[in-house]
Amino acid sequence: MRLQTALLLEMLRLTRFPPRWRRPPAAGVPAKNVGFRKVPSGVSSLGSASPRSLNIFDRDLKRKQKNWAARQPERIKFDYLKEEVGSRIADRVYDIARDFPLALDVGCGRGYIAQHLNKETVGKFFQTDIAENALKNALEMEIPTVSVLADEEFLPFRENIFDLVVSSLSLHWVNDLPRALEQIHCVLKPDGVFIGALFGGDTLYELRCSLQLAETEREGGFSPHVSPFTAVNDLGHLLGRAGFNTLTVDTDEIQVNYPGMFELMEDLQGMGESNCAWNRKALLHRDTMLAAAAVYREMYGNEDGSVPATYQIYYMIGWKYHDSQARPAKRGSATVSFGELGKINDLMSQGKKSQ
């Protein structure tokens, strides 16, 4: 046990954060030995945007939203979506026939992935998030964990540390997604795997359309009230650009029924998923909100009076290169032409007739 801890601490050299930012680590990991590597000069502090990013989101506001949500006495009733997606990420981890001595959850929230994993699959789990209250109110899990307050764009870990990196419903709020993926690739060991999920472009399209129609009719124009999301066509390119190979990207939809539009918006706030784009409109008039709720029910309402909300989820898997991984054959090394492959059906038909 001492040897494992010594090796772990040798790999993880993190620069120090002030004590108020730190949550006591799990049993088995001495608090006095957990450190932080220094972030290179010129890198923005927690919640700041990267100098090269578009700076779409107010990261400080997002931290406050997530902290507020994590402090609520009934926070568990808002966890249903993140717990569901976290379980689907865990299923993808179990699909890989290997164990992971050291894993990292980027933007962990209250630990929605770790609670679905066991210590036979993951030996030790590092969890990072920008919201300290989410880390303090983490869900129970059997895996030894260490909580680190850190921004998804500025992971404070050395290269080639983790066997597995996961992320669930967090990366859609970063300003510089390419940088975040590069950081994840950097901290992975060769032949390590990244499994992530984020909201897709059709998420909450019912709410978006209803607000736009009502605001246009009542106020003569509309502002964005739902966060912009990454397109699925761009996701594979971004993963490849970050250095991942053997990519898998798939999409799924989860539809949840609510009593009405206002209940949906209340749940989004309770999840910490309220819009934090810089160009958001600070306030909507009461008449506009009531009109939007009526439009929502008229256009999308169910027969029982409830209204649906669609959450589109993009799941992604990418591997860090290693010499042991399978590689495509060299160009020109094929022994059969595509033209000859077309004759296979004829040969199979002749074989059936002869029988």
Q: Which sequence spans correspond to the domains of the chain?
A: 59-320
DSSP-based helix, strand, coil % in the chain, nearest 5: 40, 20, 40
Strand partners, 106: 128
CA distance linking residue 55 with residue 73, whole number of Å: 32
- Among residues 39, 48, 46, 40, the alpha carbon closest in space to that of 15 is found at 39
Q: 59-320 maps to which CATH number?
A: 3.40.50.150
**DSSP state at residue 275:** -
pLDDT digits (tens, 9 = 90+) for 79-98: 999 999 999 999 999 999 99
Q: How many CB atoms lie within 10 A of CB 13?
A: 14
DSSP state of 325: S
CA–CA dist 162, 160 (Å, integer): 6
Euclidean distance between CA atoms 148 and 78, whole angstroms = 23
Q: With contact defined as beta carbons under 8 Å apart, do 151 and 46 qualify? A: yes
**Ramachandran sector of residue 194 (left: φ over 0; alpha: ψ -120 to 50; beta: rest):** beta
Instruction: Give the tens place of pLDDT for each residue, 126-138.
Output: 999 999 999 999 8
d(CA 72, CA 266): 12
pLDDT digits (tens, 9 = 90+) for 181-231: 999 999 999 999 999 999 998 899 999 999 989 888 877 655 554 556 677
- Of 152, 218, 222, 143, residue with least CA distance to 186: 152
How many beta carbons lie within 10 A of that of residue 234, not counting itself? 13
- pTM recorded for the entire structure: 0.76
